[in-house]
Structure 1
Amino acid sequence: MKRTAEEAAATRARVVEAAILVFAGMGWKEATYEAIGARAGVTRGAVHHHFRDKTRLLEEAISAGWRRHAAPALSELSCMDRPPVQRLAGFLSLYLCLLSQDESFRALAVVSVLVAPQAVDVGEGMREKTRETDEWAALIIPLFESGAGVRAGLRPPDVLFAVMAFLRGVTATAATAPQDLPTPEASASIARAVVAGLMQDEEEW
């Protein structure tokens, strides 16, 4: 029986999600279609049917992963009924919690930081990551563009730099030393401490 378009799309999605976990666990060279198929619950042939090139599979896995995981973080930044400091702290806390608690997101960090550089060309996948982080930056900048509440000596671009450096640092930690990631309980306190170091409107907590 011929598969429906919906069934084919569902299989492709399972393969893409499984690929992130396999690439993270085995690395670029050792990850095989057999291992990805086994993780996805399909045959090697099914994986090859959807992706005849392993590089393209890695590229789509990275791209889809960043699109999927960006949405919750963006919702924290977009919550207009909370003060800017609370929105930024909520965003950083959620990002930390996702890295420590969500196996798929942590695997995405490993693949983005360690595996992708080993591949010949995964440009579109990494461009998707850049697009998502650019969207985060576009939501962070307006929170402080007036300069109100920013600690003396800092400008809004300085706040953005510090926040993005923090995100890159914890992502690299998730990829290289995941045992060092904080507990979900500590993540909120860490996020608040980071934001408190940048902002002076502590009454908004």
Structure 2
Amino acid sequence: MLNSPDYLLFAQHGWADTSVTMRTLANRLRLENTVVITPNLGFYRTWWRMRPLIAQVSAIAQYYLNHFPHTPIRIIGHSMGGLIWLEILKNHPEWWQRVESLVLIACPIKGAELARIIDPLGLGIGVAKALAKNRQSLAENIAKIIPTLSISSNYFLRTDGTISVNSTQFNYAQCICIPGVSHADLRISPKVIYSIRDFWGIKQKIS
């Protein structure tokens, strides 16, 4: 672990996933002097309740923030991983001043339509109720303070095959739509990697 890193990068996977691909994304960003943290929540645990996942990531983040008390933070969340971080930031407004940037990839800020189909009455079927929740107001309050990039894709009928473009867009964030990339492929798409580096002010071309 670096003794004096320039950044802490938290890269969080989402529903029905593990940390492997987020680690790949972080590696392809080709960052220097950065501590990369990619909590693995467990493929099956992501199907049930979001609250324990929020608590797990929050505890991991607290450990690293305590260990590196003066190091700025970058956050990347894919899909539910972005929602987890929105909830963490809601619970810890004292962290906001340390967050240099927040990148949300295919994150259903206004609620996932698929989750509403699975749980139309909001009965709490698995994680569906949490995924269907509209967090636009929360995201906009955060984006007023923390520079925020929201990435979506028009892969099929203004969706990435899972999350609609509209559900990812909100005020105060820089919202971009990348054509022709599926929900899963957005995690490691070269276009996404280029967009993140550009958002961070890194202009080098991604090979």
TM-score, length of structure 2 as denominator length: 0.29
> Which has the larger strand fraction?
2
User: Does 1 or 2 have the higher relative contact order (CA < 8 Å, sep 6+)?
Assistant: 1
> Which has the larger helix fraction?
1
* Greater Cα radius of gyration, structure 1 or 2: 1
